Structures are given as C-alpha cells and as structure tokens.
Structure 1
C-alpha cells in the first residue's frame, strides 16, 4: 500500500541541504582516505577489500551490482581495481566523488614511486642483502594474500558447472599463454559460453536431434513391420506413440527461460543514480578513440618527436590495450620503456620489486618509469613532467572508457543476455587471478645474484611465509596490510639468522 506524506511535513522532517552535503562528503572521506595507504597486494586483494567495505559494511552497492562492476572492470582496458573504485564512488556520489576517490587511491603510491625514481640513480648495481630479504618477505606474503583473494573471489564467481569450468580454464590457459591479444579474446569467449549455456542453445539442439532420431526410428520400424500381424503392429504403434509422448514431454525449452534465475535490476543505479545518458556515454567513448587515433598517428609519422611525447604515446598505448590489470602491464612496459632504451633493465627490475610492496594500484610504476625516462633523455624537461606523463598516460584511458560505459550500462544491463555474458567474463577473470599467483610465485625471491627474481620454492622458508599470510587471512581475519608487513618482518628475521 502506498502512503503519502504532506509536503509541508516532509520539508520539516528533511534535514537541511547543507547538512546532507556535509554528511555525504564526511562519509566519502571516511570510506576512502586510508585505502591508498593500506591496500597492499595488487588488484585481486583490492577487489576483496572493496567488497568487504562497500558491499558488506557500507552497503553502497549490492552483491549483484558488485559482480557486474567486477566483470566490466576486467573486460575494459586499464587498471581493474582503480576502475572498480572509481565506478563504486561515482554510483554513490557522482563523478566528482569518483574522481576524488581515484586521486586519494592512487596518489600515495604514485608519490612514493616518484621519490624512488629520484634516488635510484644513487643506488649501486646491487643493494644490501637485508633489503633483498625485506623485499622477498613482502613478495612472499603478497603471494599468499593474492591466493586467498583468488579463493574468495572464486566462491562468489562459481554458480554452476559452466562457471566452475571457466574459472579453471582461465587459470590454466592464462599460465600457458600470455600474449596481449589473448586476454580480451579469452574473456569474450567466456562471456559467449555462458550466454549459450544459460539460453540452453546446445540443450535445444541436442533435444531436436533426439526427436528427429526417434522419428526416423519410427519410420524405419513401420517399414520393417509391414508384414507383421495386426496385434503385433498395434503393440508397435502404441510403443511408438508412447515414445513420442516421452519426447514431447521433454520438449525444447524456450529461449525466454534460461537456467539462471531472473536477476532484478537494482533501482539505485538505473533510476536515482543514473550518471549519464547512453548518448553521452557513446559520445565519450567516440571522443576517446578519436584522441587515441590522433596520438597514434602522430606517434608513427613524426620523425623526431620530443621525448616526453614519445613516452606519453607509449604509455597511452599501453593503458589502452592492456586487459587483465597489473600482472599483464609489467612485461608490456618492459618492451615499451626498456626496449626503447629510456630505462635500464636494472632500474626496471628494481621498480618492479618495489611496486609489489607499495599500496594502491600497480600501474603507479608508470610514474617511476616516466620520471626515469625523461631524466635519462638528457633534455631540459624536469623529472616532474615525466612523472605526470606516466601517471596520466597510464590511468586516463581506463577511467575515460569506464565513465563512458557506465552511461551505456544503465540501458544494456536490463537485458538478460548482458547478465549472462558478464557472468562468463567474471568467471574467466577470476581464473586469471590464479595466473597472477603463479607468475609472482616464480619471481618473488630477490637476492644479489638474481635481481630479476627467483621462485619461492628456492627456500622452504619463503613458502612458509606465503602460507602464513594465507592462513592468517583465511582463518584469523588478518588484514592484508598487517599480513604483508609480517612477511617483511619475517624476511628480516631470515636475513638475521641465515645471512648475518
């Protein structure tokens, strides 16, 4: 039953607009201020932190919206966890809140990586063994936290046999092949697979085939039994009719009844929190690709472009074509930055080791690389220009595309095939988290001889550190921040016992 209230009473009961705005920004600051300082572990752990805070505690979005945003952020290029935080805050408080949340989230790590770039020239070819032990402990604990995040994400992504298969295939195939084009194709195939499964197209085809086979058998039986007596013919006909009734009872399911339950659309996004119209969303996406094409054309046609522009163009390209988040960006940046001769291999590996221990997005390594590239170019541009180029070049493509797609999403998410498609993307993206565990496991241990990293199994102690962070988070509720700090402390203990 609908109830109506007097407008005068409503105005008297409603808090002043200034009070509502102040409460809104207070809630925003309380929810976001610490994430850029405490969110260790990379995108898989970030997703779990966001779920605990924004779904379980604050209830800014519901579980269905979280799963949709997770699949969208994995299916779009750029930093996945950064886009997730931007979308959640934009839905709750508008695009200004989303942009400010992005700044609070990314700037602490970006400033730290910039400071690292200032001091890296003063570091010798090797670092003290205690520093290597500290970094190895941090990396080992990070592997355990990412493994825990993979398990927790799998518990939410697996809803039936098809999603279970896709999670397994995402992890297994991602370990075997890692070309850039492979990840978006893999997630697209996963989305199509769940659409086919949910709409039971294969089931319908098999049932049609079964019905045709039964009818052909009936025809063959009728020809073979023409010389049989009437009573035998009657029995055969009744058997055939009974078989036809069985097939008809097992009729083809209509496309309008997929195997997954009907999912209602949360009203807070489609009605009250609709940020952009679908026309504006398309306009933003088209404007982005126009600028992207212009940057790439200039990149290929200019004979001697300024070094800052070349660095920006390479990082802008990397931020546009990277799917899968931080674990995928590292080898690509090695080709686009180290391969151009702008940064040495030693400095790149040092930044790679440090970024694993930094909070916030792994894409902040672009700030470090941009600053070093401009500084090593022997030009008059200050290092701050390189850091800003790296920051905006890597982050802007993903955020712009996320903003444009959110305008379209309020329209297309009402269609059931969209939910089915994203369910497959979500399952495959969850499987790729296990790929991140595998890749970091192989390069987590650093020492003087192997600055590029060795696998954790080189010493059982590091595997024990990984298990400690996993068990601490799984069974004792240890926060990722403290688990990773504990790993660094255990690394120092190992150095004091074994090395010192």
Structure 2
C-alpha cells in the first residue's frame, strides 16, 4: 500500500472524525433538532448529500425502528465513505453522550431519596426549554415536508392522530397510512370513483336547474308573443314593439347563463400531472450506494433470525440472568420502537421501571438530563442499564454496555440492509410517492412528541411520574422563550437549553425568597 493511499485514508478518517465528533458534542435537543442540524451540515455546507437524498433518508430513518437521527447519520456516512466509516461515525456520534449518561448514573445511584429543590427546578427548566427547541425544529421541518396540499393535510392529521392514542403498533401504522395516502393521491386511483360519486350526487340538482331554466324560457317566449299580438291589435309604435322584443331577447340569455358549465366526464382530470409523474428522479452517481438488494435482504433476514432466537430464550427461560434479561428487553425495545427518542420513553419505563430495576424518580431524573446531553436520546438506555446493573449487584460498566449495544443494534442493522434494497428501488416513482407521505407523517408525529414531553416535564418532590408544564405558567413562559429565541434571534439549541436551566433556578430563587 503506497504512501499516497495511506495519506488519503488518513485524511478521510480525519474528516469523518472531525465532522461526527463535532456533531456528537454539539447536537442537543433530540431527533427533530438533529435532523435540522444534519440538513445544515451535510446538505447546505459540506454537500455530502443533496436535498432529495436527505428527504429520502429522513423518510427511511423514520419508517424503520430504532434511533431515527442515529440511523440517518449512519446512512449519510455509509453513502459518503462506506461501511467502516458508517460504524466509526456511529461510535463518535454516540460515545460522548453515552459516557456522560454513564457518569450521571453513577452519581444518581449515590444520592438520597429526595433531591434538593433547586435540582428539581433546574431539571424542569431543562425540559421546558427542550420542548420549545423541539417545537421549533418541527415547524422548520414542516416547511420541507409540506410540498402540496396533500402533505399539508398529512402533517396535520398524523400529528392530531398521534395525540389520541398510544400503543407500540400505532405510530408505524400512521406512517404507513401516510405513505399509502400520497401513493393513492399521486396515482389518482380514487379520482375516478370519487368523481363518479360526485357526478351522480349532483345529477338531481342539475336536472332541477335545467327544468327551471326551461320554464323561464317558455314564459319569456310567451311574453314576447303576447306583446307582438297586442302591438298588431292596438297599432302601437313599431319602435316600442322592437324595444319589447329586444328586452325579452336580452333577458333570455341571462336565464340560460344560470345553467351549469359543461363538466368533463367523471374521472377525467384537467389538472397538472401528479407529483410522482411530473418530477424526474435524478440521483447523482456519487450518491449511489454500491450494495445489491440481495445483500440488503440477507442482512435483514439475519437480524430477524437473531431477534427470534433472543425472544425465544427470553420466553422459554423465565429465570434468565439479569444482564441477559436486560439485553433482551433493550433488544426488543430497539426493534419495536418507531418514531425516535420521545417514543422510547414510555416503553423503557415499562421494560425497566416496571421490572423493578430502576426507581420512578431516577427514571425521571435521567429523562430530564438526557435532554441536556448531546447525541442520540437512545443513550438514555446507558443510564438505565447502568442503574439496573448496580441495583442488581452487577458491574455498572457491564449493564451500560449491554443496554447500549442492545438498543442501538436493531435499528442500525435494519437500516444498513434497507439501504441495499433502497438502492434498487429508489428509481421507481411509487417509492418516491410513498416516501413523500412517510416523510410528512413523521414530521406530524414530531408535534406529538412535543405534547408527550410537555406532559411529563415538570418535576417536583411530590411527583413520581412528572407533571404537565402547563401546571405552572413559568414553564410555559420558558418554553415560549426558547422557541422565540431560536425562531427570531438565532439562539442555538445548546444555548436555549442552558438558558432554560438558568430560568428554572431563577424561579426557585423567586419562589423560595
């Protein structure tokens, strides 16, 4: 291997290290904010991918289980420099926050049952500011996801539907429905039957209009004839007779103008071609991944084989060791969680707190502080795994490592295999149509995430599961401040979150004075 090749490899490794480490220590606020940062970094500045590929990767990351922003970063590096670079980028991206959450777990395991009041105020301030930051990211992502009235409706309805129900299968179904909605709309599969129904429903009204117009025309013709007979009988002025005929003739067309305009046949369309057909699909060669669909399919099949084996052992052997049980629970969570970090919270509560491994109070402390740590929110599993191992008499390092690998592995393996299938399928118009709907549906669900974090963001001594930020106007003001600061004054996410913590301490100082 020549010195030139080694130097080129070293430069590429340095580039991957520099870019991803910077993101790993500065990307706060969870997946919605991460996606915004990725767009600025990889699309607008470095040009690693273009806007079209970014939107496709966003849709793929949201439609598969696991940590959404981590999967997207993995795919960007996979396209840019290959598999080794993708794995390396994941480690750099995740490790800073994972190490921080591990250190936090050690500290939490050594504190008393009740935290000092200033700590509760600080944690509530962090949560309040994070809600504002995520809400801003949702609004800005909406501008990119909404491309026509159909996607506007999908963003609204998916966000609203996400508020109404909460189950493991619900978010994937909403995103699938969003993709099917744009597919049906773009290919106009319902236009003809809907047009036929509308045409049939309006037929009685059109018949009544025609009968009314016919009666009016007959009456006016009778008036004209009567005027002509009267003129002959009385010998009236011919000019007056002409004015009468002219007036009647003028009135007749006005009545016929009320007739409906001739409509095109039911099911026909005079509008522009659908989005799926009118926009050419151009993928630059440097953005095409060198992986066959067969390889991708084999990777996905291999993952599901390991998943089934792990779940069978978990079910057949009820008294498995704690660390294996922890691994199985986290592996299951990483496989069935759709929608990213905010969705993982209630599920991990069931798989860790309900098992008796971590107390509700410690869970809420970790939930609040993960918002103040950079990198993926799935690093929350490191905190929980370490505490579970400590409380069970095992090594904290072993528990943190087991939980970290188990929760990240499913999403990364699945998205790696999916990229091979995506390479073969991306040239098809229907794929673009489906991804456009999934993209819009995923953005709508970000608003749902804002609502869910809002409902557990207020922490105090008397609450074991968190309270709504709306219970205290101060936290509402903090949320609004972080949103307005980012929207109108260019305050970045880390600064907004720190400002929220400071405002939380200010509230404590005022209330306790």
Task: Please give the alpha-carbon distance, in whole angstroms, between the structure 1 residues aligned to 2:269 and 2:423.
Answer: 29
Do residues 23 (structure 1) and 11 (structure 2) align?
Answer: yes
| 2:429 paired residue number | 416
The alignment partner of 1:167 has SS state of helix
TM-superposed deviation, 1:96? 1.3
Report how far residue 214 of structure 1 moved: 11
- Give the counterpart of 1:366 among 381, 399, 406: 381
Cα deviations across residues 244-300 of structure 1 (Å, max 9, x unaligned)?
Answer: 99636x87369x95344323231235xx64232111000000000000001111111
Change (3 A) 1:155 1:385: same
Larger radius of gyration: 2
Alignment of 1:395 onto 2:408: yes
Q: Which residue of 2 aligns with 1:187?
A: 175
Asked if 1:252 is matched to 2:240, the reply is no
| 1:432-461, Cα deviation, whole Å (9 max, x unpaired) | 111111111122122222253222223322
Cα distance in 1 for residues equivalent to 2:280 and 2:344: 34
**1:125, distance to aligned residue in structure 2 (A):** 1.4
Q: Report the Cα offset of residue 427 of structure 1.
A: 0.7
The equivalent of 2:306 in structure 1 is 291
> Does residue 479 of the first structure (1) align with residue 496 of the second (2)?
no
Match of 1:58 among 37, 40, 46: 46
**Counterpart pick for 1:492 among 499, 502, 505:** 505
Shift of residue 349, structure 1, vs aligned partner: 2.0
Runs of 4+ in 1 over 4 A off after TM superposition: 207-218, 243-246
Instruction: Give the structure-1-normalised TM-score.
Output: 0.86
**Contact preservation (8 Å) 1:55, 1:63:** yes
- Give unmatched runs, 5+ long, in structure 1: 1-14, 222-242
* 100-109 vs 114-123, greater mean Cα deviation: 114-123
Give TM-score, length-normalised by structure 2.
Answer: 0.84
Return the alpha-carbon distance in structure 2 between the equivalents of residues 213 and 495 of structure 1.
64
Displacement of 1:25 after TM fit?
2.7
Q: 1:93 aligns with which of 64, 75, 81?
A: 81
Which position in structure 2 is the counterpart of 1:172? 160
Aligned equivalents of 1:287, 1:363: Cα separation in 2: 23
- On the 8 A contact 1:138/1:485 being kept in 2, the answer is yes
Q: How does 1:133-212 map to 2 (within 5 A)?
A: 133-207=121-195
1:34 to 22, 29, 32: 22
| Counterpart Cα distance in 2 of 1:71 and 1:19 | 36
Unaligned stretches of 5+ residues in structure 2: 211-259
**Corresponding residue number in structure 2 for 1:235:** none
CA distance in 2, matches of 1:459, 1:209: 52
1:268 maps to 2:285: yes
Q: What displacement does 1:356 show?
A: 2.2
Instruction: Name the CA shift for 1:408/1:495 in 2 (closer, same or farther; >3 Å).
Output: same
CA contact (8 A) 2:191 2:267 kept: no
- Secondary structure, aligned partner of 1:122: coil
Shift of 1:151: 0.3
Count of residues in correspondence between the two structures? 460
